[in-house]
Structure 1
Amino acid sequence: MENALLQVSKKLIKSGYKILLYVVWGSDREASKRLYDKLNDPLNVTYDPSLYSEEELIEKLSVCSLSINFKLHANILSLAGNVPCIALGYRFKVFDLFQSLGLENLVVSTDSDTLALDIMEGA
């Protein structure tokens, strides 16, 4: 999954997007920092290891045009802030929530053999 996110991030940067890597759980810092380091593009990628309240994170996300999220809570906060999102479906709860909201087209299964392509198609 990390390599797929690396590919997608590089394609989005080439298309003119800026990337914000943020965490919603302290344990996510290591993986997020590793992705930041692999991208090696401080002009276009910001890594923010801080943990924010829901309100603060929604405010930070409000300037984003898209959010790609692994954590269910990050997807919910994106939707609450009216930020379109791609949910990386890793457990039934992600698929179930998005199905119940009529947004199943926004979920990409992390088991996909074509994960990077699937994310780009959703973006």
Structure 2
Amino acid sequence: MDTITIGAWIGHLGRGLAPRELQCILDVAQGFTTKEIAKHFGISESGVEKRIGDAMLKLGVARRAAAVAEAMRRQIISPLCILLVGLMAMHAALNDGDPMRRAPERRTAQVRIVRRAETLELHA
């Protein structure tokens, strides 16, 4: 399935929104105004309003923020950070035997032993 990536957001085509509607919703998700979106795509502000309005109608919402939330709920758009977290989780699961991963635990144990030895020396 095809995707559109704009900024820190990824949109999936073929899930209910036309490509231009999806691009506009992705820009709305990034917090851009109608004027900024129009400048970004080289179309008129009324064209942006029309596409956002059409997307909101298809998503069944009345506000832009609700359109972004509904598109996320339907998995039409998602922030790229979710993909990064997923990759990090998979990497951690595959490299569970990594010696660097256990270093803080060893360091904590060493600090406890040293502190206990210092305490015993002070009381002796």
Would you tell me which structure has more strand in proportion to its own residues? 1
TM-score range, shorter chain: under 0.3
Q: What is the TM-score of this pair, normalised by structure 2?
A: 0.26
